[in-house]
Amino acid sequence: MKEFVLIYDVPRDPTKIETKVWRDLIKLGAKKLQHSVWKHSDLSKLIEIATFIKKSGGSATILEEKLIF
């Protein structure tokens, strides 16, 4: 199963944007790797979250995870 990694940065003010993103990722069942780095296998849901982040003035990137070593 492919895993995808979402890396994002959201404006700190208002904090409701960051809270919504965090809650959406938790609800999705995504795994937190670092503060703004999460992974999950549902690419379409991660794209929805990334789109919200970008519309809210943040930046977001989705990568396909590939284990090398």
Domain ranges of the chain: 4-64
CATH of domain 4-64: 3.30.70.240
Place of tokens 């990694």: 5
Residue 27, classified by CB atoms within 10 Å of its CB into exposed (0-12), middle (13-18) or buried (19+), is: exposed
What is the reported pLDDT for 21?
A: 95
For the stretch 2-40, pLDDT in tens is 999 999 999 877 789 999 999 999 999 999 999 999 999
**Per-residue confidence (pLDDT) for residue 64, from 0 to 100:** 96
Q: What is the pLDDT of residue 1?
A: 82
Q: What is the pLDDT of residue 63?
A: 97
Q: What is the pLDDT of residue 11?
A: 83
